[in-house]
Each structure stands twice: as C-alpha cells, then as structure tokens.
A and B are shown apart, each in its own frame.
Chain A
Amino acid sequence: MPEVPDPRVIDNADGSKTIISFKIEGGKKLKVTQRVKEIKITEKVNKSIAARRKWAKYGAEANSPPGPNLSTTKLGEELHLKLAPSLKELKAQEAKEKEKVKQEGEKSLYMCRTCGMPGHFTSKCPFKEMLGESGSTEEREAPADVATESSAAPMATTPGKYVPPSRRAGGRDPSSDAYKDQRERDDAMTLKITQLNENADEMTIKQKLLTPFQTIPRVAVVRNKETGRSRGIAYVTFSSEHEAETALRLLDGRGFMNLILHAEWSKPKK
C-alpha cells in the first residue's frame, strides 16, 4: 500500500486557503487541490430565542429529528402581496396588467396583413373594402408602370409565387424606422449617473439612492465584462420625464458612498 502524504494547507495572499490533499481511489493516487475562502458571518440573536432553539421536541413530535417535519410543515405556493392606496386602484392596476398581457399576447400572435394592425385577422380587417383583400393601394398602381417597376414590386400579382414576408403588402421592412425604434431604447427618461462608488450595485442604488422615487423600471450598472467590477457608471430609467428631471436636480452633485455624484441625461448611442 503506497503512502499517502499529509494534506497541506497554504495561506494565499488574498486571504483564501489552498488545501492540497492526497487520496487513493481504485489503486490510483489522486491529488486533490481545493481553494477555500472562510467568511465569518455574525448573526445577532436574542439570548432567550437562542435558548429556545435548543429545546428538545415533545408531544407528538417527541421522536422527530431536528428540522421541519414534512408531514406537518410545507411550503405553500408563491404569492404576491400587492399593495395599493385603495382597493379600487388595486383592482384597476390588476385589470391594466391583464389587459397589457392580453394585448401583448395578441400582438405577437397575429397581425393583419391588409392594414398592418395587430389584434384582428386579415380576413376580418375593417379596411378590407377600402384596401382590397390582400393588396394595398401601391399594388393597384403597380400594373400601370409594369415596365419600369416590375422587378421592384412583383408582389402577389402572380398568384402562387412565393413572396418573402418583408415584401408582402402590409409587411414591414426590417430596415424601416419602425424596427429601429424597437432596437433603441427611449432615452428621454433615462439618466446617466457617473462617479458612483464601485461597490454600489443595482440594489443599493435602488434602495439607498433612489428611495424617494416610486417606481424605477430599470437600473443598469456598467461593469467590466471580465472582472464584473463596476465602472462607476449607471443608467437609470424613470417612469416619467418629470420624475427624471427631479432626480437629475436631486442627484447631481450629491454625495453618495463617499463620492460626489455626477448626473446627466443619457445620450443615445452613436
């Protein structure tokens, strides 16, 4: 039987420990290297509560092992306590959310090819009479100058021929402005906050810095891709332009976590 050396513990410079141990498994000698960082977490508990935590169980639980008994203690379903100033508002809020989800669902599900509006099928388009079953006004004009424009707008004039969705009547051109708007976020309500403390993450900003503001849809801290460390810049989107303006006045030049913040309107990317 080969000898197994004692495990070695090396203290690293960054406070972590490297433990190198050897073991024999299936006749092979294996070297196990573990890197461990010890963190001491202190939790303050009332003395009497700590004493009660150590009490032995009794009655029907006398012989149960420590920890919750699955036959008596179960986790319920996740639920959200939504709070609003009044029940009416609460209900209105819920209805609004439902409506939004419904609308979004419909939008992604289908869209009318005649008029390009979501929410109804092509066959049920209210503008059918005006625009024609599957063609638009430009299509009707197309036959007039067939000679010049035939290659640009072959469209559905010849039935049975495949037309890519982007070229169909009512279809949207992927390079059009409509798509461009979706790619770029609306920056009107966004502030760029610089000179932030490196240790301030999204949660701290939300909870410590932006508490006066009711709803903040988005806080994004710019981080180094590799190390994940904050670069001291954050983009904060507010729910209204007015709110963003108040925040700009409030935050610019204000001290936060030992640094003086600088806030400005976020500029769109070039």
Chain B
Amino acid sequence: MRPIMMMGHERSITQVKYNREGDLIFSCGKDAVASVWYSVNGERLGTLEDGHMGILWSIDVDDFTEYAVTGGGDAGVVIWRVKDGSKVHKWELRSPVLRVEFSPNGDKLLAVCADLMGHVGSICIIDIARDSANKIIGYDEEPTVEICTIEGTAPVQVASWSYDGKYIVAGHRDGNITKYDGRTGQLLQSQKLHKQLITDIQLSLDRTYFITTSRDCYANLVDVETFEVLKSYETDCPLNSGCITPLKDFIIVGGGQDAREVTTTSAREGKFEAKFFHKLFQTEIGRIDDHFGPINCIAVSPQGTSYVSGGEDGFIRLHHFDKNYFDFKFDVERSADAQKKVVVPSEIN
C-alpha cells in the first residue's frame, strides 16, 4: 500500500477524526487551523480558520456531518458548519480546552478543561438544540453541567461519550479512569488502570467498550457498562493514541518517546511506528513505520478500510489497507474457516 501524505498543517497534529461515513477526515494541529480532507484521495476540502487564537487541541464532527467542533488553548470551543467552513458559534470557557466531542445524537457537547489559569480542571457539558433536520437552532451560553475535579484527585485529560450519550468515560492525569452519568454528571465508577497519564480514549463502533492508551506503555480495553478490563496490551514505548478497528479484530496504537527527548536520541530508538495488535489474542501482529516523530493521534475509518495517523512531525498519513490486511488470520481462525468450507461440498452431495 502507498500511504497518502497530507501536509496541510505547519505544526504538529493534535487530533484526527473520521466522519460517520468515513469519507471525510478532520484534523487539527498546533497552528490554530483545522482541515477537512476527503479520505478517498487525500484532497483537502477546506480549512476552518479564524476561530481560535492558538493551539487547537481537539476536533470532532457530529454523526450527520453537519457541524464540526474544535477546542483550543485559547479556552474557546467553536462550532463550524462543515459544508462551507463558516463559524457558527464560539464559547469562551474558563481554561484551555483539551478535548471536545459531540454526543452520539448531537444534542450535547462535552469539553474537557485543563487545570490551568486558576481552574481545577473539569468536564463541561453544553446543551445544543437541534431541529428535525439536525440543524442547530439554539445553544446554552453556559455549560449545563460542569464536573469539576474533586480535590485530592488528578485532573481529567481525555473524555468520551458512551452509547446513547448515557455515560461519559474519562481518563485522568494519574492513570485513573472514571465513568460519569451523561445527563447529571454524577460520578458512577472510578478505577486505577494505568500508572501514568492517559493520553487517549476511543470507543468501539457500537460505543460499548473503549480503548485507553497511556504513557506507561500499556493499552487496555474496558467495558463501559461493567467497567471491567477486557484485554491489556503491552508495548515498548509510551503511547499517545489508539483505536479499535471495525471489520477485523485488531487494535492500532501509536506513540513514541516524548517529543522533547527526540533530539537527544536517534530515530531508531524513537519507536514511532503504528503498532497493530490482535484484539483477542493480545499479540503484536505488525507495524507500520513511516512517521519521523511520535504519533500523536490515530483514527480508523468506521468502515475499517483505512486508518489515518497524525504525528508530531506535522504530517498526516492516510493508509488504505490492502488485501493482505483483510486476508490475515491466525492459524486457529483459518482452520476453523477451512473446516466450515470442507463441510459445504458434502452437504451439496
């Protein structure tokens, strides 16, 4: 396969996202501009400009591909119309916004505020009113619910919605994961999962379980409802992002040593590869090594036919999987399939 390099950002990439149909890719970086790309050929549809004053930490798109939302270091949360790139609304929150995400049906918005500028750190839930055609017709100026960091615990780093917007799962600076009620913001469950900062949380396609990645070199699969750790994956480098592939039972994680340590070591030690693990057998099955720096974010298309990674090097690389990816099976899977096939001819006779 030949990756498509998308070089629309001048600084490192902070997040990449697919829309629901997998035909558009949304990316944001530290250069205050977000980009929208066609996934089929890597063509840029446009940029979302003049909304933020600094780093963009996060971007998301709703399920209808009507609106995108960005959150940045200027404490702003901006909603954009995807079709023409125009700004719809901007909220000014209390501190830099690390993560933004639309709820699955698009009527809520979560924003993770950092523990900076005298703020303790929080998850803000903002209500958005939509009409039957999913157009936004109104919004609350102030967050409806604000889940502030409880004193004595580490502030939240990443958060995401579960199915139906029922829960919010969050990853904290000290490696804890927590679950909140999606409507009231009430703390439901908490668990110590990692030893260090949790860098990313991404849910499965049906939003019933999620993957966490951490700087302590581990990735975990956790069930949303029971909060039970389903699987654990050990890697050889600090992780920045991970995703669960639909279609095949794999996970893809990426990371690398900290950006500030890169200059003192050679690229070979960097471990800047995207690593493929088998979701069930928990073994590493392959690697793709093409970034010059650590991978900051990874996303897989909801159709499971391509994945995109954004790196500290400022490049976004889009990989359309080729045949051997779809064909790959473990021997046990293969023999099970072969047995099924052997049965077929005898049935005909």
Which residues of A line the B interface, CB within 8 A?
Answer: 46, 48-49, 52-53, 55-62, 64, 67-69, 71-87, 90, 211-212, 214, 250, 253-255
Q: Are A81 and B288 in contact (CB under 8 A)?
A: yes
Q: Does B227 contact A (CB under 8 A)?
A: no
Q: Are B325 and A73 in contact (CB under 8 A)?
A: no
Contact with A along B41-54 (1 / 0, CB 8 A): 11111111100000
The 7 A-B pairs of least Cβ separation, nearest first, read A59-B47, A212-B338, A58-B46, A58-B85, A76-B3, A59-B46, A68-B43
B24 to chain A, nearest CB (A): 7
Q: Are B341 and A211 in contact (CB under 8 A)?
A: yes
List of B residues within 8 angstroms of A214 by Cβ? 331, 334
* 28 A-B contact pairs sorted by A residue (CB < 8 Å): A52-B65, A53-B23, A55-B83, A58-B85, A58-B86, A59-B46, A59-B48, A60-B44, A61-B46, A61-B47, A69-B44, A73-B7, A75-B4, A79-B2, A79-B3, A80-B1, A81-B276, A81-B319, A81-B321, A81-B325, A83-B276, A85-B281, A85-B285, A86-B284, A87-B283, A211-B337, A211-B341, A253-B345
In the bound assembly, the distance between CA atoms of A254 and B85 in angstroms comes to: 58
List of B residues within 8 angstroms of A60 by Cβ? 8, 33, 44, 46-47, 49
Q: Are B324 and A81 in contact (CB under 8 A)?
A: yes
B251 to chain A, nearest CB (A): 13
Besides A59-B85, A76-B5, A87-B283, 18 more A-B contacts (Cβ < 8 Å) are A46-B21, A49-B21, A55-B83, A60-B44, A61-B44, A67-B43, A71-B7, A73-B5, A73-B43, A74-B7, A79-B3, A81-B319, A81-B322, A81-B324, A82-B324, A85-B278, A86-B283, A253-B345
A89 to chain B, nearest CB (A): 9
Residue of A nearest to B283 (CB): A86
Q: Are A75 and B285 in contact (CB under 8 A)?
A: no
Q: Are B46 and A72 in contact (CB under 8 A)?
A: no
Question: Which one of A53, A76, A85 lies within 8 Å of B2 (CB-CB)?
Answer: A76
Q: Are B325 and A52 in contact (CB under 8 A)?
A: no
Residue of A nearest to B50 (CB): A59
Q: Does B30 contact A (CB under 8 A)?
A: no
A212 to chain B, nearest CB (A): 4
Most chain A beta carbons < 10 A, residue from B41, B44, B330: B44
Q: Which chain B residues in 106-144 approach chain A with CB under 8 Å?
A: none
Contact with A along B244-280 (1 / 0, CB 8 A): 0000000000000000000000000000000010100
List of B residues within 8 angstroms of A49 by Cβ? 21, 23
In the bound assembly, the distance between CA atoms of A46 and B142 in angstroms comes to: 37
Known: A49-B21, A58-B85, A76-B2. A83 touches B286 (CB 8 A): yes
Q: Are B345 and A212 in contact (CB under 8 A)?
A: no
List of A residues within 8 angstroms of B2 by Cβ? 75-79
Q: Are B5 and A58 in contact (CB under 8 A)?
A: no
Q: Does B217 contact A (CB under 8 A)?
A: no
Residue of A nearest to B277 (CB): A87
Q: Are B283 and A83 in contact (CB under 8 A)?
A: no
B92 to chain A, nearest CB (A): 23
Q: Does B290 contact A (CB under 8 A)?
A: yes
Residue of A nearest to B64 (CB): A48
B20 to chain A, nearest CB (A): 9
Residue of A nearest to B9 (CB): A72
Q: Does B84 contact A (CB under 8 A)?
A: yes
A59 to chain B, nearest CB (A): 3
Q: Are B41 and A48 in contact (CB under 8 A)?
A: no
Known: A59-B47, A61-B44, A61-B46. A85 touches B331 (CB 8 A): yes
In the bound assembly, the distance between CA atoms of A109 and B72 in angstroms comes to: 61
Known: A73-B7, A74-B4, A254-B345. A61 touches B45 (CB 8 A): yes
Residue of B nearest to A46 (CB): B21
Q: Are B44 and A62 in contact (CB under 8 A)?
A: no
Question: Which one of B4, B37, B290, B337 lies within 8 Å of A79 (CB-CB)?
Answer: B290
Q: Does B342 contact A (CB under 8 A)?
A: yes
Q: Are A82 and B286 in contact (CB under 8 A)?
A: yes
Q: Which chain B residues in 291-318 approach chain A with CB under 8 Å?
A: 317
In the bound assembly, the distance between CA atoms of A74 and B345 in angstroms comes to: 48
Q: Which chain B residues in 48-82 approach chain A with CB under 8 Å?
A: 48-49, 65
Most chain B beta carbons < 10 A, residue from A61, A211, A254: A61
In the bound assembly, the distance between CA atoms of A250 and B339 in angstroms comes to: 11
Q: Are B44 and A86 in contact (CB under 8 A)?
A: no
List of A residues within 8 angstroms of B331 by Cβ? 85, 214
A97 to chain B, nearest CB (A): 15
Residue of A nearest to B278 (CB): A85
Residue of A nearest to B315 (CB): A76
In the bound assembly, the distance between CA atoms of A52 and B82 in angstroms comes to: 10
Residue of A nearest to B7 (CB): A72
A132 to chain B, nearest CB (A): 48
A262 to chain B, nearest CB (A): 14
Known: A75-B5, A76-B3, A77-B2. A83 touches B285 (CB 8 A): yes
